[in-house]
Amino acid sequence: MRTLAAGSKRLLDSGFTLLELLVVVALIAVATAGVSLSLRDSAESALARDAQRLASLLETARAQARASGVAAQWQPTPSGFEFSGLPRQTLPSQWLSNGTRASVNAPIVLGPEPMIGPQTVALSLAPNHAPSPTARLWVATDGLRPFTVQNQATAVGLQP
What is the DSSP code string of the chain?
Answer: -----TTPPPSS--S--HHHHHHHHHHHHHHHHHHHHHSPPPHHHHHHHHHHHHHHHHHHHHHHHHHHT--EEEEEETTEEEEES-SS--S--S-SSTTEEEE-SSPEEEESSSS---EEEEEEE-TTT-SSTT-EEEEEE-SSSPPEEES-GGGGT---
In whole angstroms, what separates CA 45 from the centre of its chain? 5
What does pTM read for this prediction? Answer: 0.69
Can you give the pLDDT at residue 149?
93
Can you give the pLDDT at residue 6?
63
Residue 63: other Cβ atoms inside 10 A: 14
Per-10-residue mean pLDDT, the chain, length 160: 59 76 93 78 82 93 89 90 82 88 90 87 77 75 91 53
Can you give the pLDDT at residue 158?
46
Can you give the pLDDT at residue 3?
59
- Fold of the domain spanning 43-156: minor pseudopilin epsh fold (3.55.40)
Can you give the pLDDT at residue 160?
39
Can you give the pLDDT at residue 5?
60
Which residue, 134, 90, 139, is CA-closest to 118? 139
Can you give the pLDDT at residue 159?
41
Can you give the pLDDT at residue 128?
66
